[in-house]
């Protein structure tokens, strides 16, 4: 009996021990599964928080999601983004014109250069033109005491003074009879010359026919009354030039100074030929009176000097009495190295044109480097005078404006 009690106690103890072992084996499994959930809380929990209704169980919901999101709604995002991108895309297009604008700056500076041009590469690989203007080019005529042109003189027959000093070096001297011409014919079309207008037109046409050589010289026609008007641009076609002259109709006031300023600045300042330098001249056919110009007389003279233009004038005043307008014409001619003609009869207008033609074909040309040249924008006086024969008369421009940095 006592043995049975002992066996029962042992059996109960073994059973309790087995249950205790089973319980301890199950408990560690729960913490093991909880531990990963605590290590990565954001990834599993983020999806339920952002999309509460989208659980993993209803996988077939994917097709329903596609149907629930209509195509217009999906496309609306790209449509909204497209306008947002278009300004950004447009901004480079608006900036592209700045490149041609920047590239045009050297072209605008090019007329200031004559010799010593250098191309310097920039860091971007573009080229900026640098111009060193240290050579002066000028033309002049020489006549004897009878007014006849002298065409056989040499460099040693003249003395040149630039800003009070002789040139540093003379690069060229010669008789430039064949140097190409660029001529502007400016005809007064105001009411003041109405009575003789037709005859003057025909005289001007005859002059152009004689002076303009095909494939070498070029001319343009400007008529002016209250405003200057370009009737024919540069051409060597004398038929077109004649048509431009005949197209003029008299009427209105007189803007002489504006016409000269416009012709020098916009037409002759940059005039060149494929072969090199040219002689530039303006032929005025007017009485010299001005009552409509916006620029002053001296401003027109300065522009002619900057453009290196010689001004010739034929006065349409046939009264025989020198007027204020005649004195104005003399001022233009004197300052630019030109000449004024005063025909007393209409028939003498043709002779005046012939005289201009002869003078243009009887010019000397000289190119030199000045002493102590400075790009300061200052006016530098030039004097050309004969050394041996003091009876000769030299007609040239009074000076030039140095370029300004």
Domain ranges of the chain: 103-131, 136-174+363-405, 178-361
Work out the burial of residue 281: count CB atoms within 10 Å of its CB; fewer than 13 is exposed, 13-18 middle, 19 or more buried: buried
Strands 218-224 and 228-235: antiparallel
The reported pLDDT for the residue numbered 251 is: 84
Q: Coil, helix or strand for 3?
A: helix
The reported pLDDT for the residue numbered 324 is: 96
Walk along the chain (405 residues) in steps of 10 and give the mean pLDDT of each run: 61 60 47 42 39 40 40 38 39 34 34 38 36 76 93 94 96 81 95 79 92 93 96 97 94 94 96 82 95 96 95 91 95 96 88 91 92 91 92 93 85
φ/ψ (deg, to 5) at 141 = -120, 155
**pTM of structure:** 0.66
Closest among 343, 184, 140, 182 to 276, alpha carbons compared: 182
**Alpha-carbon span 333 to 337, nearest angstrom:** 6
Q: At what angle do helices 2-26 and 29-39 cross, to 10 degrees?
A: 10
Cβ density class 308-327: b for 16+ within 10 Å, e for less:
bbbbbbbbbbbeeeeeebbe
**Alpha-carbon span 188 to 205, nearest angstrom:** 14
**Alpha-carbon span 286 to 263, nearest angstrom:** 15
**Alpha-carbon span 339 to 334, nearest angstrom:** 7
What is the Cβ-side half-sphere exposure of residue 366, based on CA atoms within 13 angstroms?
Answer: 25
What is the Cβ-side half-sphere exposure of residue 27, based on CA atoms within 13 angstroms?
Answer: 6
The reported pLDDT for the residue numbered 403 is: 87
The reported pLDDT for the residue numbered 247 is: 95
Residues 6 or more apart in contact with residue 105 via CB below 8 angstroms: none
The reported pLDDT for the residue numbered 14 is: 62
The reported pLDDT for the residue numbered 27 is: 43
CATH class, 178-361 region: alpha beta
DSSP letter at 402 equals P
The reported pLDDT for the residue numbered 164 is: 95
């Amino acid at each position: 009996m006592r043995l049975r009690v002992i066996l029962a106690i042992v059996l109960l103890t073994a059973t309790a021990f087995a249950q205790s072992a089973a319980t301890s084996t199950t408990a560690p499994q729960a913490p093991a599964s909880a531990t990963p959930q605590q290590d990565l809380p954001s990834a599993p929990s983020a999806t339920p928080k952002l999309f509460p209704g989208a659980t993993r169980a209803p996988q077939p919901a994917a097709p329903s999601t596609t149907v629930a999101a209509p195509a217009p709604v999906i496309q609306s995002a790209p449509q909204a983004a497209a306008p947002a991108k278009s300004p950004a895309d447009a901004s480079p297009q608006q900036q592209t014109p700045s490149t041609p604008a920047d590239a045009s700056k050297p072209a605008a500076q090019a007329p200031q250069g004559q010799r010593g041009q250098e191309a310097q590469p920039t860091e971007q690989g573009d080229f900026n033109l640098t111009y060193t203007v240290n050579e002066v080019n000028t033309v002049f005529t020489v006549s004897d005491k009878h007014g006849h042109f002298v065409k056989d003189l040499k460099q040693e027959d003249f003395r040149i003074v630039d800003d009070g000093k002789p040139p540093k070096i003379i690069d060229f001297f010669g008789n430039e009879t064949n140097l190409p011409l660029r001529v502007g014919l400016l005809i007064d079309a105001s009411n003041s010359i109405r009575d003789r207008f037709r005859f003057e037109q025909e005289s001007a046409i005859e002059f152009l026919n004689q002076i303009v050589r095909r494939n070498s010289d070029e001319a343009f026609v400007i008529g002016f009354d209250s405003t200057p008007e370009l009737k024919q641009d540069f051409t060597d076609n004398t038929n077109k030039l004649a048509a431009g002259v005949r197209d003029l109709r008299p009427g209105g006031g007189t803007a002489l100074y504006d016409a000269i300023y416009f012709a020098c600045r916009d037409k002759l300042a940059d005039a060149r030929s494929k072969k090199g330098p040219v002689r530039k001249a303006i032929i005025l056919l007017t009485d010299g009176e001005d009552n409509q110009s916006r620029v002053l007389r001296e401003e027109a003279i300065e522009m002619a000097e900057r453009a290196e233009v010689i001004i010739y004038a034929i006065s349409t005043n046939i009264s025989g009495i020198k007027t204020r307008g005649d004195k104005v014409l003399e001022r233009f001619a004197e300052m630019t190295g030109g000449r004024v003609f005063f025909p007393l009869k209409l028939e003498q207008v043709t002779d005046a044109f012939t005289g201009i033609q002869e003078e243009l074909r009887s010019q000397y040309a000289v190119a030199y480097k000045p002493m102590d040249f400075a790009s300061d924008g200052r006016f530098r006086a030039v004097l050309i005078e004969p050394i041996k024969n003091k009876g000769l008369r030299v007609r040239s421009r009074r000076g030039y404006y140095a370029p300004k940095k």
